[in-house]
A and B are shown apart, each in its own frame.
Chain A
C-alpha cells in the first residue's frame, strides 16, 4: 500500500502499533446483508454526540441552585447567544434519541440479536438503556419547572414503597426530607456524569458487537444469503444516509414543531405548594409510569416495573431457539407483535390521566409483556428445538 511509506503514518505506527490493525478492522469489518433497521445504531451515536456537545454548552450557563435554576434556563432561551438553539437541540434530541433507542431494541428483539453468541451485546445495550433512562430523568428535573418538580417528587417517592428502609433511603438519596436544593444539585451532577459513563458503555457495546459481528437477518429465510461486504465504503455511506434522514426528522421537530416536545407546565417555575392538574412523565418514561399506576400496591408497582426490565435481561436464556428472525417463527412473531402494541399502549396510558380505561388497558399490556417473554418465547423456543431435533434425527438414518 502506498500510505505505508507516508512519514506521518510510519511515525504513528511505530508509536501506536494497534492503530493500523484497528483501522483495518473497522473498515474491513465483514457485514452480512443487513437491512435499513441496522442503521439505527449509527443514528443513536450521532444523537448521543449531539446531546453531549449541546449539554456541555448548556452546562456553562446552567445554575444548579434552587433560586437560580429556572431563571438560568430562561436566560439561555432569551439572552445567551444561540442559547435557544442549543437548548432545543438538547431538549428535542432526547425524544429522537429514545425513539431511535426503542426501535433499536425492538429490532434486536425481532431479529433475535440477543441470542448466542451476542448475549453481551444485548446485556450491554440494555444497561445503556437503563443509563439513558436515568440520565433523561435526572435531566428533566434540572429546569426546575412545575413538571420537573412534581414528576421528580412522584418518582423519587416510589422509593419509599420499599419496605423497612424506604423512607430512610429516600431521605439519604435526596439529602433532605423533601426534594430541594441538595437534590437538585445531585441531579445535576448525576446527569452530567452519566453522560460520560454512557460514552464509555457505548464503547463497550461496540466492542462486544465487533467481537461477534452483526447478526444476519436472512439466515432463517428460505434463501439464506451468506455473502458479506466490508463495512467501508458501502455501509458507511448507508449509515450516513440514514443519519441524514434522522437529522432531517430531528430538524423538522425542533425547528418547526417544538410544541410537540415540551410540556406547558414546565415553563412555570416549580411551586411545591401547587400540584399541577396532571402529572405525566415524558413519553419515553411513560410505559413504566403506567405500570406503577396500574398495580394497586405501591410496592407491587415498583416490583412490576423492575421485573419488566429484568425479563429483558434474562431473555437470551429464556429463548434458546436456534432460529433468530421472528419473521420465520410464527409464535414468536405473534408474541413480539403483541408486545410492540402493548408497549405503545403503555406509552399512551402513561401519558394520559389514570381513568379506569387506561388503567385496565395498561394491566392488559403488562400481561402481554410478561406472557410474551415468560410464556410465548420460551414455548416457541421449546417447540422449535424439538422440531429441529426431530429433523436431525430424521436425517440421520
Chain B
C-alpha cells in the first residue's frame, strides 16, 4: 500500500528536478562560433541586443571592461560566465584578448604580485572569486565603497597613487584603488543609464553571483525537496496514526 502511494510523488519530484536544468540549457544555444579569429579581433561579434538584462549581466560587462584590468577571478573560468553571457563567441573573444581560452581561469593581468603592487600604490588588487562573502561588510560594503569616492577634503594630504574614499576600510580612507567607475563609461545594450550608483549596484550583484552562482537553482531545488518531503511526511503521519489506532 505504501509503495503505490510513493510512486507518483517520486515522479513529481523527478519532474521538478529536471525542470531546474531547463533555463540553463535553453540559454546556452546560440549560433555556432563560425567566425574566424582574425575577424573577431577587429570587432566583438554583436549578439542580438537583449531588451532586458539582469543586474549581474550588466555587472559582468563592467567586470570585463573595468575590474578585470587589475583584478583576477582565479576560481572561475572564462567559460563559467556562459550563464550571464550566452554568446560563446563573445566569451571566446574576451578570453583571446587576454591570451586565454574558455577553460582558463580568469587570471590577474599582472605577471607577478610585485608588479601588481607597484602599479597600485603598494596594495595588490585582491582576487574577486569570493570577495562578496569574504570582505568585511559584504556586498553592502562593496556597493557603497565603489560609489564612495569623494574630493579630497581640506587638510588631508594624500600620497601619490592614493585616492580619498571615506567608506573604504583600509589606510584610513586613503584608498589605493583608483576610482573605477565614471558616469556613462559603459553603454548597456538594454538602455540602462550607466550612473555610478547603478554600476556599483550591478557589479556588486555580479560579484555575489560569482561567489554563489547556484543560488537560484539551489532555492528552486530546495523548495521542490521540501514540498516533496512535506507530502511524504503527510502520508507517513496518516499511516502512523492509522497503525496506532489499530494496535
Listed in ascending order, the chain A residues whose CB lies under 8 Å from chain B are 71, 74, 78-79, 84-85, 88, 229, 233-234, 237-238, 240-241, 244-245, 247-248, 251-252, 254-256, 258-259, 264, 267-268
Contacts and interface: CB of A to CB of B under 8 A. Distances in A.
A229 B247 contact: yes
Contacts of B247: 229, 234
A33 to B, nearest CB: 10
A203 to B, nearest CB: 26
A247 B219 contact: no
Which of A71, A237, A252, A259 has the most CB atoms of chain B within a 10 A radius of its CB?
Answer: A237
B214 A267 contact: no
A329 B216 CA distance: 52
Contact of A264 (B75, B133, B219, B239): B133
Interface string B184-213: 000000000000000000000000000001
28 contacts: A71-B75, A74-B75, A78-B75, A78-B77, A79-B80, A84-B218, A85-B214, A88-B218, A234-B247, A237-B2, A237-B240, A240-B236, A241-B236, A247-B225, A248-B226, A248-B229, A248-B233, A251-B222, A251-B226, A252-B222, A252-B226, A255-B218, A256-B219, A258-B218, A259-B133, A267-B134, A268-B130, A268-B134
A259 B240 CA distance: 35
Contact of B76 (A78, A248, A255): A78
Contacts of B221: 85, 255
Given A240-B236, A267-B130, A255 B214 contact: no
Interface string B224-247: 011001101100110110011001
Given A252-B226, A255-B225, A241 B134 contact: no
A245 B134 contact: no
Contacts of A240: 236
Contacts of B237: 241
Contacts of A245: 233
Q: 10 tightest A-B contacts by CB?
A: A255-B222, A244-B233, A241-B236, A74-B75, A251-B225, A248-B229, A267-B130, A84-B214, A237-B240, A234-B243
B218 A237 contact: no
Interface string B96-132: 0000000000000000000000000000000001100
Nearest to B130: A267
Interface residues of B, number: 29
A233 B247 CA distance: 11
Where chain A touches its partner, the secondary structure class is helix
B235 to A, nearest CB: 9
Nearest to A71: B75
A267 B233 CA distance: 36
Given A255-B218, A267-B134, A241 B233 contact: yes
Interface string B46-89: 00000000000000000000000000000111001000000000
B229 A247 contact: yes
B125 to A, nearest CB: 16
B236 A78 contact: no
A255 B228 CA distance: 14
A74 B211 CA distance: 11
A283 B214 CA distance: 26
Contacts of B134: 264, 267-268
B229 A79 contact: no
B222 A256 contact: yes
Nearest to A78: B80
Contacts of B133: 259, 264, 267
Contacts of A256: 219, 222
Given A71-B75, A251-B222, 9 more contacts: A78-B77, A85-B221, A244-B236, A251-B225, A252-B222, A254-B222, A255-B218, A255-B223, A267-B134
